[in-house]
A = this chain, B = another copy of it.
Amino acid sequence: MARNDKREEIVRAARELIAENGFHGAPMAMIAERAGVGAGTIYRYFENKDVLINELYGGIEDRMNQIIMDGYSTETPFRGRFLHIGTGLLRYFIEHPLDFRYLEQFHNSPYGVAVRRDKLLGNREGGCNAFKELFEQGMAQQVLKNFPLVILFDLAFGPLVTVARDHILGFVTLDAAMIVRTVEACWDGIKR
């Protein structure tokens, strides 16, 4: 196996296992086994488990942002822009349940809280600058309800995350139409 293949296999195995079983259900030995490498080999590519976990997160975030932002134009009216981002996000979650599960694990852990804090304080480049811009402009132009930015985020994306989770857990099944209707409902929540 080539050097890069090995690294990739480790990443893949770790992502799968953590998404399926959580951080504590994914011991390094198990990751190594699924990746088809020795336990010690992982440490040739990642300093320790924390580094591996954080790097995984970054990779998922990057890919997600790229897909969501594809075709996004600041020329579109607010509602259309919001629907673009919202449906893109929800679709991504549903089409990549492993990534979604991983992100949930990550956000509900000290790792994730730290990242979020950094983002809010501006110490870290957020992939969601587009949202921020959208919301700030929307409020300024009285299209959106006047709320602290954080609350607007929560109103808009809180339901999407929850809905995605329920879909992935099998509590409900979302088709393309239902995705759109759900995001439209979120828009109703934030629009003036």
Contacts and interface: CB of A to CB of B under 8 A. Distances in A.
Interface of A: 22, 24, 104-105, 108-109, 113, 116-117, 120, 145, 147-148, 150-151, 154-155, 157-163, 166, 169, 171-172, 174, 178, 181-182, 185-186, 188-191
- Oligomeric state, in copies: 2
Given A113-B169, A178-B151, A181-B147, A159 B189 contact: yes
A155 B189 CA distance: 9
Which 10 pairs show the lowest CB-CB distances between chains A and B?
Answer: A189-B189, A158-B162, A158-B159, A154-B162, A158-B158, A150-B172, A154-B163, A155-B159, A108-B108, A185-B189
A173 to B, nearest CB: 9
Label chain A's interface by main secondary structure: helix
Given A120-B171, A188-B188, 14 more contacts: A117-B171, A148-B172, A148-B178, A150-B166, A151-B166, A151-B178, A154-B162, A155-B185, A155-B186, A155-B189, A157-B162, A158-B159, A161-B162, A189-B189
A167 to B, nearest CB: 9
Contacts of A161: 158, 162
Contacts of A151: 163, 166, 172, 174, 178, 182
